[in-house]
Structure 1
């Protein structure tokens, strides 16, 4: 699966990338700003979003992904109650996360080593 990571902490972004690539997923970009991530929306099949990015909350970008039918999950330390009501149906993995919690977001199948 082609995955986009939106995370403003480089060590966390690197860890997420390693987790995904070890399972056969392709990370098509790592972004610390939602504005920069919008450039590759046509190539993404799934997105991992931190709520708090360098250019502010990722909620508008998450709504763009939802409107385009691109699955995503928040990987965040933010409270679930802070997520706007229209986005509360999104998958959420709390930080600190476990590797298996990240992998559980993705369907098993082609390209997966699980």
Structure 2
């Protein structure tokens, strides 16, 4: 599965990348802005998205576009899970920072199984 990392903190982005790769996934990014994420959306199956991006944009707004326009599944990885809020129906999961390898791998496994159930496409 192709996993895009959307995270503005480099050390966290590299950690997410490592976890995804060790779980057998191809990674895209890391990217830290909405523009970068949208440029890579067509190559992504799922995105691990932080709420606060380096361009000041909201990861929640990005998620809505990834889900609705590009068919990319979204898993939030955030230090502020209470701020995910309403309107992000369709996000597969919300993972709190700090996270464990097992929690990320589990969420990615669930996303992969869900995509297989829907013929390789996001279940919108």
TM over 0.5: yes
Gaps of 5+ in 1: none
Query: Runs of 4 or more off by more than 2 Å in structure 1?
Result: 107-110
**Distance in 1 separating the partners of 2:63 and 2:81:** 16
In the TM superposition, residue 30 of structure 1 has moved relative to its aligned partner by 0.8
Please identify which structure carries the higher strand content: 1
Q: Which has the higher contact order (CA 8 A, sep 6+)?
A: 1
In the TM superposition, residue 36 of structure 1 has moved relative to its aligned partner by 1.2
Provide TM-score, normalisation by structure 2. Answer: 0.80
In the TM superposition, residue 73 of structure 1 has moved relative to its aligned partner by 0.6
**Distance in 2 separating the partners of 1:33 and 1:11:** 16
- Structure 1 residues 62 and 28, CA gap change in structure 2 (3 angstroms): same
Within-5 A mapping of 1:95-110: 95-107=97-109
Please identify which structure carries the higher helix content: 2
2:88 is aligned to 87
Provide TM-score, normalisation by structure 1. Answer: 0.87
* Two-structure CA RMSD over aligned residues (Å): 1.8
Gaps of 5+ in 2: 114-124
Pairs aligned (count): 109
